[in-house]
Every structure is written in C-alpha cells, then in structure tokens.
Amino acid sequence: MALTKYVLVVEYDGTKYYGFQWQPGLPTIQDEVEKAIKKFCGQSSRAVAASRTDAGVHAKGQVVSFWAKEELSTITMTKALNYYLPRDIAVKAAYRTSDDFNVRQDALSREYCYYILNSESRAPLSEGFVLHVPGTLDMKPMNKACHLILDSHDFKSFTTFLNNSRNTVRNVYKAEVRRKENLVIFRMIADSFLPHQVRNTVGLLIRLGLGKIGLDDFKYIMEVRTPDLAGPRAPARGLCLNRVNYSKSLGVQQ
C-alpha cells in the first residue's frame, strides 16, 4: 500500500515536557503527537519536527511531518488529533504534502522569540512564558549587539560543548530587541540554530542591558569562540518557536 505524507503545524506549552524529541520514560511533545496519530490513523508513525525544541521551550508554529497508509481528510485530521492530544498541545493546521518534502532540510529559516518581563513586580499569570528581570534593561546597547550577530558568524561561544567536527557557523537574518510597555521581546531568525544558541544569546544580552558587561565584552565573547562562554543561558520558559519558513506552501488541505 502506498504511503501518504502529511504535515502538521503544532502549537504547544512546553512547560511540563522534556523537549520535542522522544526520550525513554519522559514526557515529550513527539511522544504525545505520535500517540495521537496512532489513535486516529490506527498505525504507528514517526513524527519528525523542523526544530527540536529543548525542555520547557514553547512553540506557536512547530512544523511536523509523518506518513500514513491512506489518504485522509486534513480537516478531519486536525479535529481528531486535537481530540486525542493533551490540552497543552494543539494542531493548528494539517496538509497533504509531496513525498520528497523534508520539514528540516527544506526549511529556509526558523524564527524564535524570547519574552522578558522587565518590571519590578512579577506577573503570576504569565510566569511560565516570560523571564522576570526587575532591573531596567537599556535597549540601545542590546540592539547594537544584535547588529553584531547579523549575517554569517561562528557562534561556538553561544552553544554548549560540541564535537570539534561540528560546524558552528550559522546565518542570522534578523536579530532585534523591542519593548512593548514592560515586555521586552528578543526576536531572532536564522537558517538554523546551535544547541542553546538563542538562550545563551539572551543571557548575554541581559547582562549587557543591565550594564554588567560592555559591548566590547560582547564582541570578545563572539570572537574567542569558546563553547558556552556566552552563558549563563536564559531559562527555557521565555523561549518560543514562532514559525518555520519555507520557499513554498506546506501542501494542500482537503
């Protein structure tokens, strides 16, 4: 029997999960999605994600693909998978796609946002989705630093320890910090990301915005290319995968 490939756009609150990727004995997004697919399709299928979010990281536009043994209604699929999924995970849309579409390799870029509550008081209702920083952040040096990380650079200082053979050069298309009242939002778009790259970048930007380091320190950390030097990294709860960008549509809905 010929298999049909489908793509899902998934949103989730990653608070209680150990990241997207399956881990034995631990709750993960991949495990929940695959269980829902099995209940709806009556078969096991591997769910492949465009970006492997870490433990505690959220997503508004994660892209996931899987195979099914028969052609299914994507509208019915969306409703059925949401019925079987837990309340903190939802399929926003489903598409039938071409057999050669690869959610990882065909992605042009990934967009992440990190949310900082920059106020003296905490906000209990948004506690799981923002990092509370009480000291006033100076946006000017933070955005100057954002300008430094644009284009192609070796981001070894912004990741955890890696095998020496791994390429740590990434292309950053957008990096900016903006303020909306007490909410400071860091937005970063790149072709792909190294492990903990965004959270280490945010941690360093916060130190810069609080005056604990200068712009020259930021430049030095970039240039010295020492793993994890940009840390300590910001907590996972403020990070969200907003979208994954492709050169063409994900597929068709039926």
Do residues 16 and 95 share a domain? yes
Do residues 193 and 120 share a domain? yes
Residue 157 is given by DSSP the state: G
Written as six digits, the tokens of 37 are: 């697919």
**Residue 71 maps to which CATH number?**
3.30.70.580
Do residues 167 and 230 share a domain? yes
Quick one: what percent of the chain has pLDDT higher than 70? Answer: 98
Do residues 145 and 99 share a domain? no
Q: Which of 142-146, 227-231, 237-241 has the lowest mean pLDDT?
A: 227-231
Do residues 119 and 201 share a domain? yes
In a domain, 248, yes or no: no
217 catalytic? Reply is no
**Rounded to whole angstroms, what are the CA distances from 231 to 36, 157, 160, 172, 214?**
37, 9, 9, 19, 15
Per-residue pLDDT reduced to its tens digit, 156-209: 999 986 766 589 999 999 999 999 999 999 999 999 999 999 999 999 999 999
Contacts of 133 (CB under 8 A, 6+ apart): 116, 117, 118, 184, 206, 210
Total number of domains constituting the chain = 2
Catalytically annotated residue among 13, 31, 54, 154:
54
Do residues 191 and 152 share a domain? yes
The span from the CA of 8 to the CA of 142, in Å, is 35
The span from the CA of 91 to the CA of 77, in Å, is 9
Report cis status (omega within 30 of 0) of the bond before 227.
Answer: no
Per-residue pLDDT reduced to its tens digit, 109-130: 999 999 999 999 999 999 999 9
pLDDT value of position 254: 80
Other C-beta atoms lying within 10 Å of the C-beta of residue 238: 27
Q: CA nearest 114: which of 206, 52, 192?
A: 206
The mean per-residue pLDDT over the stretch 207-233 comes to 93
pLDDT value of position 184: 98
pLDDT value of position 253: 86
Final residue in a domain of this structure, among 56, 89, 105? 105
Do residues 88 and 208 share a domain? no
Other C-beta atoms lying within 10 Å of the C-beta of residue 137: 18
Do residues 160 and 138 share a domain? yes
Do residues 125 and 192 share a domain? yes
Final residue in a domain of this structure, among 105, 120, 149? 105
Quote the domain boundaries for residue 32: 4-105
